[in-house]
Amino acid sequence: MTLAGFLTYALALGIAAAVPGPGIIALVARALSSGFRAAMAFSVGLILGDLIFLSAAVFGLALIAETLGEVFVVVRLCAGLYLAYLAVRLWRSAGQTDRIEGGPADRPFASFLSGITVTLANPKTIVFYLAVLPTIVDLRTVTAADFGVLVGLTALVLAAVVTPYAALAARARDSLQKPVFRARLNRSAAAIMAGAAVWTVARRA
């Protein structure tokens, strides 16, 4: 691949990632409910999910992904149910004003797994890597070195996009110290998470 090819890929990925979708919405909700650390663990899961799809595209697994379409439907439904479960826990914990409580969501590993699940069930991510990417990159000419660069670019671009979302949401969370605001913030985060759950289940690749 040429430098122009890598730059084109990075730009396209950056634009696609910056447009709010289920992943960004769930990330913001995680940051609001559980803070920056949990949100970044969630982000790592999001990025890993993208890398899985990138690998599938580069190594010619698009056909397998299409063949296993029903499996992706199941994954999407499971992701939606998990997000709905988190939304319910956040809403119920709104009255516990000692601190904003996200239950298991504020455990880094749980956030990480949630990030992977949301990405694997995200129609926008599936479309980008299995439909849009082949129009940007000639996958037949990608070498092992090119793949390594693509992996690095993907991680860097996604980190650059999602980190500001997480930081701003976490800062808003930390700045609201009064119990009444904390309860409202928990309910807001629950509503956002519920919206992400509905979006994840309703959308189609």
> Structure tokens of 127?
């479309």
Residue 16 lies in a domain: no
* Helices then strands, each counted (H, E), the chain: 10, 0
* Number of domains comprising the chain: 1
Residue 71 lies in a domain: yes
Which range marks the domain in which residue 41 is found? 3-11+21-202
Residue 41 lies in a domain: yes
Question: Residue 181: pLDDT band by 50, 70, 90 thresholds?
Answer: low
Residue 194: half-sphere exposure toward Cβ, Cα within 13 Å: 11
DSSP 3-state of 38? helix
Q: What is the pLDDT of residue 118?
A: 84
Residue 38 lies in a domain: yes
Question: CA-CA distance, 38 to 30, in Å (whole number)?
Answer: 7
Residue 61 lies in a domain: yes
Residue 45 lies in a domain: yes
Residue 26 lies in a domain: yes
pTM: 0.68
Does residue 141 register a pLDDT over 90?
A: no
